[in-house]
Amino acid sequence: MQGLEPSGALRLAVRDLHKSYGALEVLRGISLEAHQGDVIALIGASGSGKSTFLRCINQLEDCSQGEIFVNGEHLDLVHRKGRRVARDPRQLRRIRSKLGFVFQSFNLWSHMTVLENLIEGPTQIHGMHRDEAVALAQSLLERVGMKGREGAYPAQLSGGQQQRIAIARALAMQPEVMLFDEPTSALDPELVAEVLAVIRDLATEGRTMLLVTHEMAFARDVASKVVFLHKGLVEESGPPAEIFGAPKSERLTQFLKHVR
């Protein structure tokens, strides 16, 4: 399989992705492209396949059909023992390291301090020197407003603080694309804003991001494009002003009525 033509700006391309759990086909052919600086908000009802889609992109789930390109590099997938998996584990690691994943539940390593959480990936996976990794961690902690908390353990932090550390940890791997799966939905309402502020900053500085969210006002504000999923298919997509201001599909109209 060949890679895409080096287009430079195309950071992520997904072509005709399908995924089934047994007889249930939860992704029924999803295609999506993200160019440098795109902030794509993925919206849709619970169960429409948003999380599965993100998880297939970095192969936390295998997909039954479809192609994935990260930074122009085609992920080489082969059928093995009834599964469709990466042919080359080194390529999978390389591609994964270009994707920063932030989950709904913060998933920090609870036995490690904040600093250790941040330097683990860069030193262990990228082979970065500890001093350099610490310097990178410090600058990222500043960016997410958590400077001075290097020695804290996750359990000593609020949910909003933990999620900001999780974002910093993903950034420490210097990914090309950030994938967020409902990063604020496990937070107490008063902690949502501080996490959204960090994501907004990343959007402003031109990060390429795919963001699953129920925060419609935020999506409208920050996204360059909105994709509405319905039962494993892209039902409608477009600029936020159109998606929220003039939805064409009846399903999207109904969905928006319920989330507002």
- The option from ligand ADP, Mg ion, none interacting with 160 (CB < 5 to 8 A, set by class) reads none
Task: Closer to ligand ADP by CB, 49 or 154: give it.
Answer: 49
Tokens representing residue 242 in the block: 């159109």
Site string for ligand ADP, 207-226 (x = CB under 6 A): --------------------
Tell me which residues in 51-110 interact with ligand ADP (CB under 6 A). 51-52
Residue 51 within binding range of Mg ion, rule CB under 5 A: yes
Nearest-angstrom CA–CA distance, 113 and 107: 13
Q: Torsion angle of alpha carbons 69, 71, 73, 74, nearest 10°?
A: 0
Give the nearest distance from C-beta 170 to ligand ADP in angstroms: 19
Identity of the residue, 51 or 58, whose beta carbon is nearer to Mg ion in the bound complex? 51
Would you say the C-alpha torsion 170, 172, 110, 94 has a positive or negative sign? positive
- Cα separations in angstroms, 251 against 40, 230, 236: 20, 8, 9
Binding mask 26-55 for ligand ADP (x = CB under 6 A): x-----------------x-xxxxxxx---
Instruction: Based on the shown chain and the rule CB under 6 A, indicate whether residue 21 belongs to the binding site for ligand ADP.
Output: yes
Residue 227 tokens, joined:
């994709």
Question: Both tokens of residue 76?
Answer: 């080489």
Minimum CB separation from ligand ADP for residue 34, in Å? 18
Q: What are phi and psi of 157, to 5 degrees?
A: -110, 155
Question: What is the per-residue binding string for Mg ion in 3-42, x denoting contact by CB under 5 A?
Answer: ----------------------------------------
- Residue that the structure tokens 């082969």 belong to: 78
Nearer to ligand ADP, 182 or 194 (CB): 182
Q: Phi and psi dihedrals of 230, rounded to 5?
A: -135, 120
Query: 96, 71, 100, 94: which is closest to 9 by C-alpha?
Result: 71
8 Å CB contact between 38 and 45: no
Give residues 126-185 in contact with ligand ADP (rule: CB under 6 A): none
Q: How far is the CB of 44 from ligand ADP (least distance, A)?
A: 6
Examine residue 213 and tell whether it contacts Mg ion (CB under 5 A): no
Closest distance to ligand ADP from the beta carbon of 110 (Å): 24
Closest distance of CB 32 from Mg ion, Å: 16
Find out whether 41 and 213 touch, Cβ atoms under 8 Å.
yes
> 49 touches which of ligand ADP, Mg ion, none (CB within 5 to 8 A by kind)?
ligand ADP
Please name the residues in contact with 205: beta carbons below 8 A apart, sequence gap of 6 or more.
Answer: none
Q: By the criterion CB under 6 A, which residues form the site for ligand ADP?
A: 21, 26, 44, 46-52
Q: By the criterion CB under 5 A, which residues form the site for Mg ion?
A: 50-51
